[in-house]
């Protein structure tokens, strides 16, 4: 869901910049920016029910950020983030990164749909990688961005809580698997901040990898039971839950490590 959380990170940066720069109509401007950037990066429809900001408190809340599915999949969406809360630090000096004290993503719901040609999560992953390759240019582009003074950000604490993955295979009803809570610290701190592109691509990539790992394992177990009938399939699903939960923990740990190390720990 590599914007899936444009989307995780890029969206947070859009909010941060907006809070410091825009004085009027900020909620509608942030909402429009998130929907536009999210859709461009994932190449699927990204929508946001609403944004509520407080300039005096330096906070923002996103309500129901939804990432649609690529064509060819039956489920309505790939990801829904219930509430994303952002708390900012003090106004940065010239050339300094914006400090985000806390990002809290509550009750994210990921739908992992396995079709004949692969999963929806894999399809979105490819879309994001294509976008990154098209708009990146490698080290030269990165150097130019730095020289151009692109705004960077440091995220002191990022929490993902009460999440779940709904796994659907071969038209079966989704089977939910709980995600463990995740806490990441000091993203971008050691490198003087991360660019919006780095935050978006890295966080989304880690989430996508985690969802694919956990969802793929459970999907295989579910598919194994389909040929034995509905009752057998349900039994396979129940039997898979313990193993899937173990995989969730491992995948989440890998996700945390990847994100902590993406900007240099």
pLDDT at 159: 87
- The verdict on residue 173 lying in a domain is yes
- The verdict on residue 35 lying in a domain is yes
pLDDT band at 66 (very low <50, low <70, confident <90, very high): very high
- Give the whole-angstrom CA distance, residue 114 versus residue 117: 8
- The verdict on residue 3 lying in a domain is no
pLDDT at 105: 87
Task: Give the rounded distance of the alpha carbon of 130 from its chain centre.
Answer: 17
- The verdict on residue 2 lying in a domain is no
- The verdict on residue 64 lying in a domain is yes
Average pLDDT of the residues in 128-143:
63
Supply φ then ψ for residue 147, to 5 degrees.
-65, -30
Range of 67's domain?
Answer: 9-261
pLDDT band at 131 (very low <50, low <70, confident <90, very high): confident
pLDDT at 77: 92
Q: Which residues of 208-218 are buried (b: 16+ CB within 10 A; e: fewer)?
A: bbbbbbbbbbb
The pair of three-digit structure tokens given for residue 10, joined into one six-digit string: 């890029």
Does pLDDT of 48 surpass 90? yes
Q: What is the pLDDT of residues 86-115, one digit of tens each?
A: 998 887 777 789 899 999 989 889 888 887
Task: Give the rounded distance of the alpha carbon of 52 from its chain centre.
Answer: 20
pLDDT, averaged across the chain? 73
Dihedral-angle region of residue 137 (phi above 0 means left; psi in -120 to 50 means alpha; beta otherwise): left
pLDDT at 255: 39
- The verdict on residue 1 lying in a domain is no
- Looking at the 3D structure of the chain, how many domains does it have? 1
Task: Give the rounded distance of the alpha carbon of 33 from its chain centre.
Answer: 16
Nearest Cα to Cα of residue 159 among 175, 177, 142, 180: 180
- Relative orientation angle of helices 26-42 and 9-21, to the nearest 10 degrees: 150
How many CA atoms within 13 Å lie on the side-chain side of 167?
A: 26
- Give the whole-angstrom CA distance, residue 193 versus residue 198: 10
Does 165 or 148 have the greater pLDDT score?
Answer: 165
pLDDT at 49: 93
The pair of three-digit structure tokens given for residue 83, joined into one six-digit string: 């509430």
């Amino acid at each position: 869901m590599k914007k899936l959380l444009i989307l995780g990170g890029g969206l947070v940066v859009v909010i941060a910049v907006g809070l410091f720069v825009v004085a009027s109509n900020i909620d509608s401007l942030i909402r429009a920016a998130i929907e536009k950037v999210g859709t461009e990066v994932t190449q699927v429809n990204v929508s946001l029910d609403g944004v509520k900001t407080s300039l005096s408190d330096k906070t923002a809340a996103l309500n129901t950020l939804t990432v649609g599915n690529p064509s060819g999949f039956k489920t309505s969406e790939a990801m829904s983030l219930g509430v994303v809360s952002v708390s900012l630090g003090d106004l940065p000096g010239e050339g300094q990164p914006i400090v985000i004290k806390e990002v809290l993503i509550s009750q994210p719901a990921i739908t992992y749909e396995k079709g004949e040609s692969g999963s929806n999560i894999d399809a979105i992953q490819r879309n994001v990688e294509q976008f990154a390759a098209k708009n990146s240019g490698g080290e030269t582009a990165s150097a130019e961005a730095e020289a151009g003074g692109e705004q960077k950000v440091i995220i002191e604490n990022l929490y993902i809580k009460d999440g779940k993955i709904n796994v659907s295979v071969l038209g079966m009803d989704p089977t939910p698997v709980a995600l463990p809570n995740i806490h990441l610290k000091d993203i971008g701190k050691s490198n003087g901040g991360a660019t919006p592109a780095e935050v978006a691509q890295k966080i989304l990539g880690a989430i996508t990898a985690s969802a694919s790992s956990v969802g793929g394992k459970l999907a295989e177990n579910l598919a194994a039971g389909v040929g034995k009938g509905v009752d057998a399939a349900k039994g396979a699903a129940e039997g898979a839950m313990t193993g899937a939960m173990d995989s969730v923990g491992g995948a989440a740990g890998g996700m945390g490590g990847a994100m902590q190390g993406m900007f240099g720990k």
